[in-house]
Structure 1
């Protein structure tokens, strides 16, 4: 009784005196205290908890700033805590989100010892439902796919059912390529094949050069330093074809009207204008016969060849079989070398029904080729600069399309000058200066540059 009375007297004597604070210094291998927060369900009071780091070791006093997990489990529920936020992208270890201190007071000495204790927020998970969340999404997707397939099989169109069967045949699974060693061998083979094939892929410049080489235009020299050296005119029209054209009748004709009647195609204003320029009219019926220079004779042959191309384009319609006899009559019965060259250059050989005799047709590619070759000849006669509107009216395919064809040849389109606009109005090819301003001139420029293909998404 005397000892208890003395203790009570000491406690009463310490009341009202200031409490001394101290920070606990625990050994490095001593376990650390922790605070637990259970937002929902709480485990039984006697449930054992384990505190550990991601490496599996128990946190110590030397690692109180490191990441730690507090976990426990019962027969039905697992408890796992989170006590840290942030990331470790900067190379520093993840720390605790909140730091708490537990104070232990010793009434005998009236001291309060503070112990560091991080707060752990627990998230319970039911063992029987563990993994059901991930499985539910997979099973839901599988159920949706199965239901959609069933509806498609019952009510879908034949096309939809065929697509569905194709998808089922092409569906891949984990065993589609074998297992273990087979998969590893296939992966190694694919990697080696990709590396070997990627080394032989063409560069962007190679692809562009190949695309330019496939254009339906005459053979060209991309390094040409003058417009006259860009295109190979012998490939457009051979010297034999030009010399087969008879210039005598055109030169000796008494007037322009008679000369125009000799043309195989008479509705081209461009051809008519060039005839007037190259062969002036006689002063009288007994006037001297014109004697054009060699250069004008060469240009005249090109103009007559273009007249044959206009007539050929009208006679040989795309997609239709070209009858040689009818073509000869519509071209004004030129030499055989001219007709054969036109058929060889601007038509493709096909077999008749049942594998019969060979037939010649103007395909869509050959039609573009014919237009491209005609525009190159127009540029040649006009000194590599020509009026777009005049030739567009003769071809009757629209001004915009003819401009695109000139661009595909490497031409630059420019608006006419003031003097050119006055000439257009004076010649009647434009009704006003404003109308003349809408016309364009196509000029072949060097170094040769073709338009880039558009890679943007097409507008709907």
Structure 2
């Protein structure tokens, strides 16, 4: 090893000095503040207070920090139960450029607690409620039965001390923030909701309302040709008796009007009969969907191709089970209703009374409005002329709503 001595290196020298805070002169600070959970903005002014009656030397360093943002109060102190206990002493170095000295100052650590001002009364109410429960439990322990005493002890064992959660509040806050950051954006949620709607195929880019739900997507050309409309034309005595579903006022009145004209509107008759087939298929009991006898009794002489398409379009088969087994789900039930409403919209020039089929289908009006909105319709008040055409009371006319489909197609935003 070399025995040469280290050479002194000449350079700028900085003086170090330890300074005590001049409390008598009114100089306070600095302080190290800890904010669990939420941090106020940097411009929030904090006031420093010292408790009264500081006779003992140990109380001279006690300080209280306080700030008020209008809605939230921040209060902290370096003494008492809410103080931050530790074995470390912190100092802050301050470099004075003029004197070229570094001054060290004590920096007590103070934990700041927050209080929402609007919830102060609620907390006082909760404390009074706690006092009532304590008194009630004391009476139960003194004069209650064995069963009541067991209940009191069970509640006490299972009670959660909320104050113990303060230490993990910041961890929970960070965990929630990490989980919520992985949530999909609002546009993606809306796209997924639109895709899951139980509605017929649609053209979102259609500029004409009649092109939104095209007829070939509602009724295939093969189905359209097989609708047995001639049975109504041939049976002049009671033509509606051949329909599988007899309880639809909308379909029955529409068919009577179409059949009473000299030149029969065959297109309208086909669509009304198809709606009637859908209504009949909807009332088949779920457990009887795979029973040919029950299906034939309810559906009557509906062509087999139409019935097969109904099964494929409006029922579901259990995964991994027999494909011949079919069942209704809430979504498939709504799908049948949306098909009925979409066809009815085309018959009514895309402006229909929203309550026209509530009695026919035994539905609540809110459910009907929800499904029309799902199709992209807007629910609005009926006009004076439309109200005058209906033989109803003033209150019923006031409650009348119209479902109107317009282009371009827009769907309601998904609920949060």
Q: Per the shorter chain, which TM-score range?
A: 0.5 to 0.7
* Matches of 2:47 and 2:150, distance apart in 1: 59
Name the structure 2 match of 1:231: 213
Answering whether residue 266 of structure 2 is matched by residue 297 of structure 1, we say: yes
Change (3 A) 1:137 1:387: same
Matches within 5 A, 1:183-332: 201-251=183-233, 253=234, 255=236, 257-280=237-260, 290=263, 292=264, 296-314=265-283, 316-318=284-286, 321-332=289-300
* Matches of 2:279 and 2:47, distance apart in 1: 82
Identify which of 383, 389, 393 aligns with 1:417: 383
C-alpha deviation, 1:307, in angstroms: 0.8
Change (3 A) 1:65 1:384: same
Aligned residues of 2:21 and 2:27 also touching (Cα < 8 A): no
* Matches of 1:64 and 1:435, distance apart in 2: 81
Q: For 2:318, what is the secondary structure of its paired residue?
A: strand
Identify which of 332, 343, 350 aligns with 1:384: 350
Matches within 5 A, 1:29-428: 56-57=19-20, 64=25, 66-67=27-28, 122=54, 124=56, 133-134=80-81, 155=150, 201-251=183-233, 253=234, 255=236, 257-280=237-260, 290=263, 292=264, 296-314=265-283, 316-318=284-286, 321-350=289-318, 358-424=324-390
* Matches of 1:91 and 1:137, distance apart in 2: 22
Q: For 2:54, what is the secondary structure of its paired residue?
A: strand
C-alpha deviation, 1:312, in angstroms: 0.8
Backbone CA RMSD of aligned residues: 5.1
Q: For 1:359, what is the secondary structure of its paired residue?
A: coil
Q: For 2:325, what is the secondary structure of its paired residue?
A: strand
Scaled by the length of structure 2, what TM-score is found?
A: 0.58
Q: For 2:193, what is the secondary structure of its paired residue?
A: helix
Aligned residues of 1:349 and 1:359 also touching (Cα < 8 A): yes
Unaligned runs of 5+ residues in structure 2 are 1-16, 31-41, 60-77, 86-148
Aligned residues of 2:190 and 2:414 also touching (Cα < 8 A): no
Report which of the two structures shows the higher radius of gyration computed on alpha carbons.
1
Scaled by the length of structure 1, what TM-score is found?
A: 0.53
C-alpha deviation, 1:452, in angstroms: 3.7
Change (3 A) 1:90 1:56: farther
* Matches of 1:123 and 1:273, distance apart in 2: 97
Unaligned runs of 5+ residues in structure 1 are 1-53, 70-87, 98-119, 139-153, 177-186, 283-289, 425-429, 456-460
C-alpha deviation, 1:261, in angstroms: 1.5
Higher RCO by CA contacts (8 Å cutoff, separation 6 or greater): 2
Aligned residues of 1:319 and 1:362 also touching (Cα < 8 A): no
Change (3 A) 1:385 1:89: closer
State how many pairs are aligned.
306
Aligned residues of 2:353 and 2:403 also touching (Cα < 8 A): yes
